[in-house]
């Protein structure tokens, strides 16, 4: 039996699709360090899982903080941009 076809993800061929930038495994048993803020925890978790580049992550984090009306602490905000 001969089979042929094309594999796509959301209409994009595998030559265009980079799985590491579009998907990640998230364990159902996350352990978080109590000393970290929510923002630090989310950033750390995303970085460990390799979900996109740091600038994209920070831009999305800032957008969501703005939508929620949150203002990050200055010291943490400076640290996140290093």
The 10s digit of each residue's pLDDT in 29-71 is 767 777 888 888 887 877 777 656 777 777 888 888 889 998 8
The pTM score is: 0.33
Q: For 34-46, give the DSSP string.
A: TTS-HHHHHHHHH
Domain boundaries, the chain: 8-80
3-state secondary structure of 8: strand
What pLDDT was estimated at residue 50?
66
Alpha-carbon span 10 to 32, nearest angstrom: 33
């Amino acid at each position: 039996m001969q089979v042929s076809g094309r594999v796509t993800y959301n209409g994009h061929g595998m030559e265009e699709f980079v799985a590491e930038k579009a998907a990640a495994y998230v364990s159902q048993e996350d352990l978080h360090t109590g000393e970290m803020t929510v923002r630090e925890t989310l950033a750390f978790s995303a970085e460990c899982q390799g979900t996109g580049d740091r600038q994209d992550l920070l831009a999305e984090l800032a957008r969501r903080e703005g939508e929620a009306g949150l203002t990050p602490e200055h010291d943490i905000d400076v640290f996140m941009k290093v």
